[in-house]
Amino acid sequence: MNASTASKKSRPRPQPSQAFLAKIFHWLNIISLLLMISSGLQIYNANPVFGGRGGWQFPSLFLLGGWLAGGRHWHFAAMWLFALNLLWYGLYIFITQRWKRRFVGINDLKALQVSQNPKRKIYAWHRFVYTAIIPILLLAILSGMAMYKPTLFHWIIDLLGSWQALRVVHFATIPLVAIFAIFHLLLGLKVGGSRLINSIFW
């Protein structure tokens, strides 16, 4: 082993870094999602989607708002924070052209099928998951808007068939977003370990 090889092995790996705006986006996303989920469960308890008023109730430990109206106020306030956060981040990645490295493409689909490089496949899966969450988030926002203003957005209710179907779809977006967050975290750990995860928030 020569000196140059030894120096390369002993040299510490560079600390991953993320753009400051990306860190703000992730923090606002987590805060708004936690507020929406806990206040949404408060709303759910007033009239459960599954089983009507006699349906299963979530424990008060996971609720925000204290009662139906309080839950609604928190939920809609957090919804605006969440939606505006997505909007400005969408503009940010469009202007900076980060979208070219964030969303799935033909090369990623080919890599999932034929690539022998495990890391390349992880990157492809990450972009696939990152892309798949977009229609889920849009569905959560649109179904929420229809529940908030059913007269104005009646066409969304019509598309889904009924008010109950709208409520089921909106509620179903919660576990889907949670599953995305878990996969997003696990794939990030596989690519860059805890150093990468820490760089996203700090």
- Domain assignment present for 12: no
Same domain, 61 and 156: no
Does residue 179 surpass a pLDDT of 60?
A: yes
- Tell me the pLDDT band of 153, cut-offs 50, 70 and 90: very high
Same domain, 142 and 180: yes
- Domain assignment present for 8: no
Name the token pair of 110: 């080919």
Predicted confidence at residue 38, as pLDDT, reads 94
Same domain, 39 and 83: yes
Residues 6+ away with beta carbon under 8 Å from 103? 127, 130, 131
pLDDT in tens, 57-91: 889 899 999 889 999 999 999 989 998 998 888 88
- Greater confidence, 103 or 149? 149
Are the C-beta atoms of 198 and 18 separated by less than 8 Å? no
Based on the structure, what is the number of domains in the chain? Answer: 2
What is the pTM (predicted TM-score) of this model? 0.77
Residues of the domain holding 67:
18-48+56-94
Same domain, 112 and 41: no
> What is the rounded CA–CA span in Å between residue 79 and residue 145?
9
> What is the rounded CA–CA span in Å between residue 154 and residue 49?
19
Q: Is 162 helix (H, G, I), strand (E, B) or coil?
A: coil
Same domain, 41 and 111: no
pLDDT in tens, 45-54: 888 888 767 7
Mean per-residue pLDDT over the chain, rounded: 83
